[in-house]
A and B are shown apart, each in its own frame.
Chain A
Amino acid sequence: GQQLNQSPQSMFIQEGEDVSMNCTSSSIFNTWLWYKQDPGEGPVLLIALYKAGELTSNGRLTAQFGITRKDSFLNISASIPSDVGIYFCAGQGGGSGNTGKLIFGQGTTLQVKP
């Protein structure tokens, strides 16, 4: 199935460190979204981006919608143990059609050492 290129695949960091992950695509999207998934749970929406170049924050999280509409990044500042989980980027609309269908990245597994 279709997937976005998300990197890194996994990260193991010290509590208090900043984290950065990104997603790229060969096709454009109208919306980029970032989700977090805890074990045994469904993905939880963290941030949604709607315009190319848009920079949006949600607490310690900051995400940007790339100018080309083919990429996005997510930064987490001052990580804490509860940031542990799998982070997914997802693209919607644009080249994937004018529906709500989401194309997901492979996920970034984040582990935080206290």
Chain B
Amino acid sequence: DSGVTQTPKHLITATGQRVTLRCSPRSGDLSVYWYQQSLDQGLQFLIQYYNGEERAKGNILERFSAQQFPDLHSELNLSSLELGDSALYFCASSVSANTEAFFGQGTRLTVV
């Protein structure tokens, strides 16, 4: 158990819908990251927050947004969902802004 908690574990939704994925980082970690894992693209960095502020952005679609709350948990919002958004979404956390990250168990999103 990495100490990073993600909910829900599985999510099935229809195209055009909006979903929210939630992440609680390890105790004491200030930085949260979101990654997408698909069969054809592998593990891709989406976005990083550090102590409530956006720190780095990857190839995150405009339909996707995230935030980190004062209690340091984070949410990833995915809207206007398309079939191609089906993937595993991982949250990771680290103590500071550029130290090794520990991953949660992921949320498997299926868009039908």
Contacts and interface: CB of A to CB of B under 8 A. Distances in A.
Contacts of A105: 42
Given A41-B105, A45-B102, A100 B97 contact: yes
Interface of A: 1, 3, 30-31, 33, 35, 40-45, 48, 88, 90, 92-93, 97-107
Contacts, number: 77
A42 B33 contact: no
Given A1-B58, A44-B103, 12 more contacts: A31-B98, A33-B100, A42-B103, A43-B43, A43-B103, A45-B100, A97-B56, A99-B48, A99-B56, A100-B94, A103-B45, A105-B42
Interface residues of B, number: 31
A88 B98 CA distance: 19
Interface of B: 2, 4, 31, 33, 35, 41-45, 48, 50, 55-56, 58-59, 90, 92, 94, 96-106, 108
A42 B97 contact: no
B44 A99 contact: no
Given A41-B105, A42-B90, A43-B90, A98 B98 contact: yes
Nearest to B45: A101
B43 A99 contact: no
23 contacts: A1-B45, A1-B59, A30-B98, A31-B98, A43-B90, A43-B103, A45-B101, A48-B100, A88-B43, A98-B97, A99-B97, A100-B33, A100-B55, A100-B94, A100-B101, A101-B48, A101-B56, A102-B33, A102-B43, A102-B101, A104-B43, A104-B44, A105-B42
